[in-house]
Chains A and B, each alone.
Chain A
Amino acid sequence: MSTVTQNFSRNKYFNWAVKNLFSSWVNTIMTIIAIIFVYEIGSFFLNWSIFSADFRTNFQGEIITDRTLCSKNIVPGEYGACWAIIYARWDQFMYGLYPVEETWRVNLTYALLPFAIIGILFDKLPFRKLFIYFTFIFPFIAYFLLYGGPGLSTVGTNKWGGLLVTLFLGVTGIGLAFPLSILLALGRRSKMPIIKSLCVVFIEFIRGVPLITLLFTANVMLPLFLPDGVNPDNLLRALVAVTLFQSAYMAEAIRGGLQAIPKGHIEAAEALGLTYWQTTRKIILPQALKIAIPPIVNTCIGLFKDTSLVLIIGLFDLLGIGRAALADMTWTKLYYEVYVFISLVFFIFCFGMSRYSLYLEKKLKTDNS
């Protein structure tokens, strides 16, 4: 900016507003329309969700125990949200039908989960190695805590629900799909025609059909495929479908990373006498995975959202629990409260992941330049 305009500018906020909001007549009219739009929508939503909403108590100060006590069902013209349904069903949203006296086990798992993930996410973390070790131990701890074992009573997966099922399917699905997807991606780039075509057919088949058909297939057909004694429960069947689904998408993301590695690296490694697996493990994968992390995270966001589909095969994930709450006569018809709440939970997780992916993209750009 030249010194002349700097001298003329009254202050930087004014300048910013002129440049971004009122640069021309058309722009000014657009700004006014936008302000009205934002005001209308925003004031309506804030009123609905906060200012005229009931939280635990209604306008008379009574604790709301069923929907007839919501202010909007007593006072005509009142429309505020009635968040009491979330309070009343909080345990179900968080744990499903997990026994109340055992919910500390779920809470402990939730509390440990960030420590298991953080080592993978940030490479400059102090004591990163310890965190990575913990990542590998965590599945066993989580299994022991959630399902039970010596010293802890067994809680069947049919009792699991809500956020627990959503996170379980999301995290376990991603965790199991990751090694599988590396093998698929490598197989797809293999020089052996049979292995290559098997991988291509698998990946393209999974990517060509909707997840819901895979869930149906796993749900109906897995028991048909397996011998009598082996009968995986519903959650495990869903997990199989989710894992296969995710591995195909992740494999494509990793393949993108593999393709970005210059051929010279492979040839140099071969010239040094490294075997295929040494080359792959020490030269190719570390570089390829680094490039592929942003698209991998994007597929993870997709999977996390898609876990909501399990409600169609009768599992009670977050959305399933929400619908069950709405089916209850004491709380029926409070659709918007329930759906907005669940949306918010999903939004926090998915938005967080997408921010992380953006942060990585930026970091990769500066790393390589």
Chain B
Amino acid sequence: MQTNFIRKIIFDEKSRALLIQTLVIGLFAVFIYLIAQQTAYNLEKRGISSGFDFLNISAGYDISIRLIPFSSEDTHLRAYFVGLLNTLMIAICGCILATILGFLVGIIRLSSNWLFRNIAYVYVEFTRNVPVLLQIILYYSILLNLPKIKQAFVIFDTFYLTNRGLFSPSPIFKEGFSIVLWSFIFAIIFSILLKRFLKKKQEQTGKQYPIFLINSAIIIFTPILLFYVLGMPLEFDSPVLKGFNFKGGMVIRPEFLGMLFGLSIYTAAFISETVRSGIISVSKGQREASQALGLKSSFVMRLIIIPQALRVIIPPLTSQYLNLTKNSSLGIAIGYADLVHGFGGISLNQTGRAIEIMLIVMLTYLSISLTISLFMNLYNKSVQFKGNA
């Protein structure tokens, strides 16, 4: 009777699955319990207290690269936000630059010119087969070896490239500039509506409108016109060499530039490959058919090739954005004050709350990753094949 019962459990698929899963959960719980107990014991023995109260203690260190004001008296919580903003800033700038560079290189890789094609190929192979950390450190040391402030490279009489970063004029917004900004946003919204309207009209009448031209004119000229009407409410504070340093203006520090170049040059190599394979994936017949219909070559690219290529490009592009964002944590190697460097490094050393801090940092990266995937998946849905196929 008993053996029969055991047999039934082992040989019946459902009850066996239940048994295995119960065992796994049990083992997992024991594992977690043992680790938790050991950790609590170890923490107590070393006299490390735990909890999240440290977030309200003043940090006691300074962060040189920051988007919001921060001083050493501010709390660890504020240090977290400074680091988070720096991480987001480098990730966004890096993604934009990497996308531009990657698309450019990807298209050059398909150029009919043999030399251009192969220059791009060499670039791709050399950048993607060398660790991104090494590249970041290399570009950073190049930036640190630029001329000193006194012998700065002057670009267009306004930018000064030195070993302490790129000095550039800083904008001063005067009254009325917000109107210009708002007009820009409204122009974009208006142009989207206009595009929809004209598209509908085109479908009804068959007449084509230069939508792209009209819209770019609206988006570019409305703010510019307003800018002049309002009496140019924007001035620039140019950096001026005084003594040993520049006065005024703003400085883009070499740590930021090193990270930006390293991340975007590295990621662009991968993006270019996805762009290339995306364009190749559009079958030759599509191009030939659209040419046979008499479409101009610019239309062939914009209306036929790119929309289909995007379907293939977007998913791997998403994972490249995720990689870039995760790689932005390497700022610690050259002193770029991102989340891992400031909050995950210095705060951790000062408070000793390793578990809490690493948990916060990891959860933050997880939520950034999830947000990027979410938005890219939404975008992906909008470019995917529509219809009943």
Q: Is B385 an interface residue (CB 8 A)?
A: no
- How far, in angstroms, from A312 to B134 measured CA to CA in the complex? 12
- B235 CB to nearest A CB, Å: 39
Contact A198 B39 (CB under 8 A): no
Interface centre among B43, B131, B354 (most CB of A within 10 A): B131
Residues A346 and B130 in contact in the complex (CB < 8 Å), given A27-B113, A34-B115: yes
Contact A195 B129 (CB under 8 A): no
Residue from the list A319, A335, A343 in contact with B145, Cβ < 8 A = A335
Q: Is A268 an interface residue (CB 8 A)?
A: no
Over the window 154-173 of chain B, the binary record of Cβ atoms lying under 8 Å from chain A Cβ atoms (1 yes, 0 no) is 00000000000000000000
Contact A38 B330 (CB under 8 A): no
- How far, in angstroms, from A202 to B361 measured CA to CA in the complex? 17
Q: Is A271 an interface residue (CB 8 A)?
A: no
Residue from the list B39, B129, B329 in contact with A354, Cβ < 8 A = B129
- How far, in angstroms, from A312 to B119 measured CA to CA in the complex? 33
Residues A305 and B330 in contact in the complex (CB < 8 Å), given A194-B21, A216-B358, A224-B42: no
Q: Which of B95-103, B292-300, B362-370 contacts A (4 or more CB under 8 A)?
A: B362-370
Contact B119 A37 (CB under 8 A): yes
Q: Please, which residues of chain B bring their CB within 8 A of the CB of A226?
A: 38
Interface centre among A213, A312, A351 (most CB of B within 10 A): A213
Q: Please, which residues of chain B bring their CB within 8 A of the CB of A221?
A: 39, 354-355, 358
Q: Please, which residues of chain A bring their CB within 8 A of the CB of B130?
A: 305, 343, 346-347, 350
Contact A35 B24 (CB under 8 A): no
Contact A301 B137 (CB under 8 A): no
Q: Is A273 an interface residue (CB 8 A)?
A: no
Over the window 317-347 of chain B, the binary record of Cβ atoms lying under 8 Å from chain A Cβ atoms (1 yes, 0 no) is 0000000001101101100000010001000
Q: Is B205 an interface residue (CB 8 A)?
A: no
| B residues 132-189 touching A (CB-CB < 8 Å) | 132-134, 137-138, 141, 145
Please give me the residue from chain A that is nearest to B135 by CB atom: A343
Residues A20 and B329 in contact in the complex (CB < 8 Å), given A306-B131, A347-B126, A347-B129: no
- How far, in angstroms, from A253 to B361 measured CA to CA in the complex? 27
Contact B20 A192 (CB under 8 A): yes
- A33 CB to nearest B CB, Å: 9
Q: Is the interface of B mostly helix, strand, loop or mixed?
A: helix
Residues A312 and B370 in contact in the complex (CB < 8 Å), given A195-B21, A212-B340: no
Q: Please, which residues of chain B bring their CB within 8 A of the CB of A198?
A: 24, 28
Over the window 13-46 of chain A, the binary record of Cβ atoms lying under 8 Å from chain B Cβ atoms (1 yes, 0 no) is 0000000110100010011001101100000000
Contact A220 B365 (CB under 8 A): no
Q: Is B125 an interface residue (CB 8 A)?
A: yes
- How far, in angstroms, from A335 to B334 measured CA to CA in the complex? 14
Q: Is A47 an interface residue (CB 8 A)?
A: no
Contact B114 A20 (CB under 8 A): yes
- A32 CB to nearest B CB, Å: 10
- 7 tightest A-B contacts by CB? A20-B114, A350-B129, A34-B115, A210-B329, A305-B131, A210-B326, A308-B131
Residues of B in contact with A (beta carbons under 8 Å apart): 17, 20-21, 24-25, 28, 35, 38-39, 42-43, 111-116, 119, 125-126, 128-134, 137-138, 141, 145, 326-327, 329-330, 332-333, 340, 344, 348, 354-355, 358, 361-362, 365-366, 369-370
A-B pairs with beta carbons under 8 Å apart, 21 shown: A21-B113, A21-B114, A192-B21, A195-B20, A205-B362, A209-B365, A209-B366, A211-B326, A213-B329, A213-B362, A224-B355, A225-B38, A226-B38, A309-B133, A319-B137, A335-B141, A335-B145, A339-B134, A347-B130, A350-B130, A351-B129
Known: A308-B133, A311-B333. 20 other contacts (CB 8 A): A20-B113, A21-B113, A31-B115, A34-B115, A38-B115, A208-B365, A217-B358, A220-B358, A221-B354, A221-B355, A221-B358, A319-B137, A335-B141, A335-B145, A336-B141, A339-B137, A343-B130, A346-B129, A346-B131, A351-B129
Residues of A in contact with B (beta carbons under 8 Å apart): 20-21, 23, 27, 30-31, 34-35, 37-38, 191-195, 198, 205, 207-213, 216-217, 220-221, 223-227, 301, 305-306, 308-309, 311-312, 319, 323, 335-336, 339, 342-343, 346-347, 350-351, 354
